[in-house]
A and B are shown apart, each in its own frame.
Chain A
Amino acid sequence: MNKVAVFMKKVSGVMLVAMMLVTCLDVGGNIFGHPLLGSEEIVSLLAALLIAFTLPAAHQERAHIGVDMLYLRFSPRTKKINDSILCVITAIFFSLVSWECFKYAGDLKRIGQVTAVLELPIYYILYAVSAGCGFLSLVVVSQLLKIIREGSHE
């Protein structure tokens, strides 16, 4: 599980560097009268890939912040119940998002929708977003199993 999350994060890292380079190529080319037409589209699609593939690792590393004022006053037992319920909700939620993105990708493929300038197909990216959200819900499920076994994670 961890290995996959780390691998996905590495892919995202490559996307980040690519986003930077594509924009710089566009700016550099622009100075010499040859801007990279549609660089915005490439950057937007790379950004979507970047975020989608970072989702599982970001969740594992607790990047998303929550309000802990009340939580810190919970008893260990309450914490365990609270966290288990949250894991169930989150896992169901991101499975839904993943499934919907998968269906949406199919729709866009069928319709033939592409980006405005470069006419790049969008559905590939949506499959990636679907994979990112799907793997995120797997990560949450494994967290749930751990909580049930060992109690709440701090």
Chain B
Amino acid sequence: FLLSGLVFSENVQAGGVNLTYSNFFPPGHIQSVLAESWCKEVEARTNGEVKISYFGGNTLVKAAQIYDGVVTGRTDIGMSCLLYTRGRFPLMDVINLPFGNPSGKFATAVFNEVYNKFQPTELADTKVLYLHAHGPGLIHTQKKNVTSMADLKGLKIRSTGSIAGMIKALGAIPVSMPMPEVYQALQKGVVQGAIYPEETNKGWKMGEVIDYSVVSYPTAYSVGFFAVMNKDKWNALSQEARDAIDAINMEWAIKHGDAWDTSDYEGIRFSLAQGNSMTGIDPDEAAKWKAALEPVFDDYIEKTEKRAVPGKDALDFLNKQLKLYHNGEFQSQYY
């Protein structure tokens, strides 16, 4: 009977184009829910010209393959994280630096502004729908509270990719492992901490196995995410549909940024409810951390120079916007 049910289930296909959307965020995660609502919005505002089949949680294309999957047409639209394909996005990597990320809203806005200003060739083989970036990435530890760099010495901290350089620069020992293993590793004490945004305390349940959050906003990093579409599929759409989607993208970029901050609050609430504590670091100490992290920024500039990409300009631009933000003067159509 199930089979017959499937056979007779109506499929609205009248004339329009059917697209697939692969997201690495698991279904239920707010970032996945938003992407799915983007699909619904596109269907509504293109008057049925575009219909989208949505696949969350790596089910159609795996996280590290999503950008490539959009280029090759395995999926028509995709959302994933820039960190998974290191070296592929040399300029856009700027957002993953510990630049002192104040919020997901700011990081998302400035990330889109960086893209618009520099139009990097690294993203030229797809149609970029919009970008977003998570809130302040912080160190979280177990048993031992960290208030200074000296406390970090010798601690094993789980970190991915380029973030490992930051951990090393601060004097801790970076340990790499796949995300699904981190919970167990913290529980067993294989690592004494991990670095991630507050959101992850609830999203991946890390709040259950950590004790302290080290709230060092001046050295907080972000991780950038992209929503991109296959160029041929994009060009095949009608002008009206493309205009409608562009308008939606602007709205949704803002929604994603706001959602990152809401998730961070929820993560903090979850973490505190588990009896964990959050400690800030004082300004003198923060200055020491910033000084220690200089090589991380130098490394970025050096790498982009090697690839003939204006990394230094992008970093300067980012820092200028951050300064404007702290003076209350930051302006962006994504903000």
CB-CB under 8 A from A142, the residues of chain B are: none
- The residue from B68, B156, B177, B307 contacting A112, defined by CB atoms under 8 A apart: B307
Q: A112-B307, A116-B160, A116-B161 are in contact. Are A41 and B86 (CB under 8 A)?
A: no
- The residue from B156, B173, B176 contacting A116, defined by CB atoms under 8 A apart: B176
CB-CB under 8 A from A34, the residues of chain B are: 173
Cβ–Cβ contact A37 & B90, under 8 A: no
Chain A nearest CB: distance from B82 CB in Å? 11
Q: What's the interface size class on B, roughly?
A: 20 to 34
- Dominant secondary structure of chain A at its interface with chain B: loop
Q: Is B19 an interface residue (CB 8 A)?
A: no
Cβ–Cβ contact B87 & A35, under 8 A: no
Bound Cα distance A117, B164 (Å): 7
Chain A nearest CB: distance from B257 CB in Å? 25
Contact mask B7-43 → A, CB, 8 Å, 1/0?
0000000000000000000000000000000000000
Bound Cα distance A41, B90 (Å): 20
Cβ–Cβ contact A113 & B173, under 8 A: no
Q: A112-B90, A112-B307, A116-B161 are in contact. Are A37 and B85 (CB under 8 A)?
A: no
Query: In chain B between 74 and 120, which residues have their CB closer than 8 angstroms to a CB of chain A?
Result: 83-88, 90
Q: Which single residue of chain A is at the shortest CB-CB distance from B167?
A: A37
Cβ–Cβ contact A114 & B86, under 8 A: yes
Interface hub of A30, A34, A114, A117 (most chain B Cβ within 10 A): A117
Q: Is B295 an interface residue (CB 8 A)?
A: no
Cβ–Cβ contact B86 & A37, under 8 A: no
Contact mask B270-288 → A, CB, 8 Å, 1/0?
0000000000000000000
Cβ–Cβ contact A35 & B86, under 8 A: no
Cβ–Cβ contact B84 & A116, under 8 A: yes
Query: In chain A between 81 and 121, which residues have their CB closer than 8 angstroms to a CB of chain B?
Result: 107, 111-117, 119
Chain B nearest CB: distance from A79 CB in Å? 35
CB-CB under 8 A from A119, the residues of chain B are: 86-87
Bound Cα distance A114, B173 (Å): 22
CB-CB under 8 A from B175, the residues of chain A are: 30, 35, 37
Cβ–Cβ contact B88 & A40, under 8 A: no
Cβ–Cβ contact B178 & A40, under 8 A: yes
Cβ–Cβ contact B87 & A114, under 8 A: yes
Interface hub of A30, A37, A115 (most chain B Cβ within 10 A): A37
Bound Cα distance A33, B174 (Å): 11
Bound Cα distance A101, B83 (Å): 23
Q: Is A38 an interface residue (CB 8 A)?
A: yes
Residues on A close to B: CB < 8 A?
30, 33-35, 37-38, 40-41, 107, 111-117, 119
Apart from A113-B88, A114-B86, list 13 A-B contacts with CB within 8 A: A33-B173, A34-B173, A37-B164, A111-B87, A111-B88, A112-B88, A113-B86, A115-B86, A116-B83, A116-B84, A116-B160, A116-B176, A117-B161
